[in-house]
Amino acid sequence: MDAVSLAIIEQLQEDGRRPYAAIGKAVGLSEAAVRQRVQKLLDQGVMQIVAVTDPLTVGFRRQAMVGVNVEGVLDPVADALTAMPEVEYVVMTAGSFDILAEVVCEDDDHLLDVINKRIRALPGVRSTESFVYLKLKKQTYMWGTR
Protein backbone atom coordinates (compact mmCIF):
# COMPACT_ATOMS: atom_id res chain seq x y z
CA MET A 1 0.00 0.00 0.00
CA ASP A 2 1.46 3.33 -1.03
CA ALA A 3 1.60 6.61 0.88
CA VAL A 4 -1.32 8.11 -1.07
CA SER A 5 -3.67 5.27 -0.15
CA LEU A 6 -2.61 5.59 3.48
CA ALA A 7 -3.29 9.33 3.33
CA ILE A 8 -6.77 8.67 1.88
CA ILE A 9 -7.50 6.25 4.72
CA GLU A 10 -6.41 8.85 7.28
CA GLN A 11 -8.67 11.45 5.66
CA LEU A 12 -11.64 9.09 5.88
CA GLN A 13 -10.84 8.17 9.49
CA GLU A 14 -11.09 11.84 10.36
CA ASP A 15 -14.42 12.15 8.51
CA GLY A 16 -15.99 9.22 6.69
CA ARG A 17 -18.25 11.63 4.80
CA ARG A 18 -15.46 13.89 3.56
CA PRO A 19 -16.04 14.64 -0.14
CA TYR A 20 -13.70 12.95 -2.60
CA ALA A 21 -12.79 16.37 -4.04
CA ALA A 22 -11.58 17.52 -0.60
CA ILE A 23 -9.63 14.31 -0.10
CA GLY A 24 -8.12 14.72 -3.56
CA LYS A 25 -6.99 18.23 -2.72
CA ALA A 26 -5.38 16.99 0.52
CA VAL A 27 -3.54 14.06 -1.10
CA GLY A 28 -2.80 15.51 -4.54
CA LEU A 29 -5.21 13.47 -6.69
CA SER A 30 -8.29 14.18 -8.75
CA GLU A 31 -11.73 13.41 -7.37
CA ALA A 32 -12.08 10.51 -9.84
CA ALA A 33 -8.73 9.03 -8.80
CA VAL A 34 -9.71 9.20 -5.12
CA ARG A 35 -13.07 7.56 -5.90
CA GLN A 36 -11.28 4.70 -7.69
CA ARG A 37 -8.77 4.22 -4.89
CA VAL A 38 -11.46 4.24 -2.21
CA GLN A 39 -13.48 1.66 -4.12
CA LYS A 40 -10.38 -0.53 -4.49
CA LEU A 41 -9.65 -0.27 -0.75
CA LEU A 42 -13.26 -1.23 0.01
CA ASP A 43 -13.25 -4.12 -2.48
CA GLN A 44 -9.98 -5.48 -1.05
CA GLY A 45 -11.36 -5.38 2.50
CA VAL A 46 -8.63 -2.97 3.61
CA MET A 47 -11.21 -0.65 5.14
CA GLN A 48 -14.92 -0.11 5.71
CA ILE A 49 -16.84 3.12 5.87
CA VAL A 50 -19.49 2.81 8.58
CA ALA A 51 -21.55 4.85 11.00
CA VAL A 52 -20.43 4.32 14.60
CA THR A 53 -23.16 4.79 17.18
CA ASP A 54 -23.29 5.14 20.93
CA PRO A 55 -25.04 1.86 21.87
CA LEU A 56 -26.96 3.52 24.71
CA THR A 57 -28.63 6.01 22.41
CA VAL A 58 -29.92 3.29 20.09
CA GLY A 59 -31.38 1.04 22.79
CA PHE A 60 -28.49 -1.20 23.83
CA ARG A 61 -28.13 -0.56 27.55
CA ARG A 62 -25.71 -3.36 28.41
CA GLN A 63 -22.24 -4.03 27.03
CA ALA A 64 -19.63 -6.45 28.29
CA MET A 65 -16.29 -7.90 27.37
CA VAL A 66 -16.39 -11.66 27.83
CA GLY A 67 -13.17 -13.56 28.37
CA VAL A 68 -13.45 -17.14 27.15
CA ASN A 69 -11.19 -20.08 27.95
CA VAL A 70 -11.31 -22.94 25.47
CA GLU A 71 -10.37 -26.60 25.56
CA GLY A 72 -8.73 -27.61 22.30
CA VAL A 73 -8.71 -25.64 19.07
CA LEU A 74 -9.78 -21.99 19.30
CA ASP A 75 -11.07 -21.47 15.76
CA PRO A 76 -14.44 -23.26 16.06
CA VAL A 77 -15.31 -21.27 19.20
CA ALA A 78 -14.09 -17.99 17.68
CA ASP A 79 -16.11 -18.69 14.52
CA ALA A 80 -19.26 -19.45 16.54
CA LEU A 81 -18.84 -16.24 18.53
CA THR A 82 -18.31 -14.27 15.34
CA ALA A 83 -21.62 -15.58 14.01
CA MET A 84 -23.61 -14.27 17.00
CA PRO A 85 -25.30 -10.94 16.18
CA GLU A 86 -24.72 -9.59 19.71
CA VAL A 87 -20.96 -10.13 19.45
CA GLU A 88 -19.28 -7.09 17.92
CA TYR A 89 -15.62 -7.94 18.38
CA VAL A 90 -13.72 -11.22 18.66
CA VAL A 91 -9.99 -11.58 19.18
CA MET A 92 -7.84 -14.60 19.99
CA THR A 93 -5.34 -13.68 22.69
CA ALA A 94 -2.35 -14.85 24.65
CA GLY A 95 -2.72 -14.48 28.40
CA SER A 96 -5.48 -15.17 30.90
CA PHE A 97 -8.11 -15.78 28.21
CA ASP A 98 -7.98 -17.57 24.90
CA ILE A 99 -10.62 -15.33 23.32
CA LEU A 100 -12.11 -11.93 24.13
CA ALA A 101 -15.57 -11.12 22.79
CA GLU A 102 -17.34 -7.78 23.10
CA VAL A 103 -21.09 -8.23 23.52
CA VAL A 104 -23.74 -5.54 23.02
CA CYS A 105 -27.20 -6.31 24.46
CA GLU A 106 -30.51 -4.62 25.12
CA ASP A 107 -30.47 -5.24 28.89
CA ASP A 108 -29.16 -7.52 31.65
CA ASP A 109 -31.59 -10.34 30.82
CA HIS A 110 -30.43 -10.31 27.20
CA LEU A 111 -26.77 -10.36 28.32
CA LEU A 112 -27.45 -13.25 30.69
CA ASP A 113 -29.11 -15.20 27.91
CA VAL A 114 -26.20 -14.64 25.52
CA ILE A 115 -23.55 -15.62 28.05
CA ASN A 116 -25.33 -18.43 29.86
CA LYS A 117 -27.32 -20.13 27.11
CA ARG A 118 -25.24 -19.41 24.03
CA ILE A 119 -21.58 -18.68 24.77
CA ARG A 120 -21.15 -21.14 27.66
CA ALA A 121 -23.08 -23.76 25.69
CA LEU A 122 -20.59 -23.78 22.82
CA PRO A 123 -18.58 -26.99 22.47
CA GLY A 124 -15.05 -26.40 23.71
CA VAL A 125 -15.85 -23.50 26.05
CA ARG A 126 -14.28 -24.32 29.42
CA SER A 127 -15.07 -21.08 31.25
CA THR A 128 -16.02 -17.44 30.83
CA GLU A 129 -15.51 -14.27 32.78
CA SER A 130 -17.61 -11.19 32.10
CA PHE A 131 -16.56 -7.57 32.45
CA VAL A 132 -19.73 -5.48 32.36
CA TYR A 133 -19.25 -1.93 31.09
CA LEU A 134 -20.46 0.71 33.53
CA LYS A 135 -19.63 3.73 31.39
CA LEU A 136 -18.06 4.10 27.97
CA LYS A 137 -15.44 6.84 28.22
CA LYS A 138 -13.70 6.53 24.86
CA GLN A 139 -14.50 4.79 21.61
CA THR A 140 -12.47 5.91 18.63
CA TYR A 141 -11.16 4.51 15.39
CA MET A 142 -8.65 7.30 14.79
CA TRP A 143 -5.37 5.41 15.12
CA GLY A 144 -4.39 6.48 11.62
CA THR A 145 -2.08 4.42 9.48
CA ARG A 146 1.22 5.10 11.26
- Is residue 133 exposed (0-12), middle (13-18) or buried (19+ Cβ within 10 Å)? middle
* Residue 87: closest CA among 61, 51, 118, 109: 118
pLDDT at position 138, please?
84
pTM for this predicted structure? 0.80
Tens place of pLDDT for every residue, the chain, 146 residues?
Answer: 899 999 999 999 999 999 999 999 999 999 999 999 999 999 999 999 988 887 878 888 999 999 999 999 999 999 999 999 999 999 999 999 999 999 999 999 999 999 999 999 999 999 999 999 998 888 777 776 76
Torsion of CA 95, 96, 100, 104, to 10 degrees: -150
